[in-house]
Homo-oligomer: A and B are copies of this chain.
Amino acid sequence: MTNPLAAKLRNFAPLTDDDAAVLDRLCADVRGHRAKRDLIKQGDRPEVVFLLVEGWACRYKILPDGRRQIMAYLVPGDLCDVQIFILKRMDHAIGLLSNARVAAIPENKMVELFETRPTLARALWWSTLTDEAVLREWLVNIGQRDAFERIAHLLCELWVRLKMVGMVKGGAFAFPVTQSDLGDTLGLTPVHVNRMLQRLRGEGLIELKQGRLLIPDVPRLMSVAQFDSNYLHLDGSEIG
């Protein structure tokens, strides 16, 4: 299978075969992990950069009283924390939402790449800047939209991001996220998430079966969500 990070970065700028080969070599150390395991825990000292090759993960924080907030989804092609070595301790955890294959990239390889590969370096900066833009958009989502729009908006974003790495097939993608997870990302109870998903299905906006999510009419879902993909900065891509 082709490297999902390369696929993603090509949405920013073209890469040479040489660049792509460098990215492949980054993934020398790929391992399989089971769902629900933590890749890093809150308080850990960061030792490597993780690259998700297959499966889904999330950043999350647990409050003292047990409430959980998910702050990002990581899908294939996503790196976590290119710069992380500057900080002494993780202020949040990264956990797996599904079984996954994950590459661990040591600091020195990362530094070397940034120093010797300006095109790739720029593309990686682009990807961290858009990660941040996604975070900002999630804040808008929770802060301003009601439950129905919130879920719709998140699904639109995931559709675009998975499209970038070629993981949307026939308008559908694998969706290993429980309604409880959705609640913890959107600041809603699982019960209410359930009712809103029913409404989305009822209105023909999504179909959900056996862990795959189908969006029959993407523009329609985008319009109910007031989704505007600008924040993903896909200038160099057909998806926009």
Contacts and interface: CB of A to CB of B under 8 A. Distances in A.
Interface string A44-72: 00000000000000010101110111010
A87 interface: yes
B136 A87 contact: no
A138 B140 contact: no
Contacts of A91: 133, 136, 230-231, 233
Interface in A98-147: 122, 125-126, 129, 132-133, 135-136, 138-140, 142-144
A235 B45 CA distance: 13
A15 to B, nearest CB: 16
Question: A interface, how many residues as a size bin?
Answer: 35 or more
B129 A132 contact: no
Nearest to A60: B140
A222 interface: no
Given A63-B140, A142-B142, A83 B230 contact: no
A33 interface: no
Contact of A138 (B92, B129, B139, B226): B139
A89 interface: yes
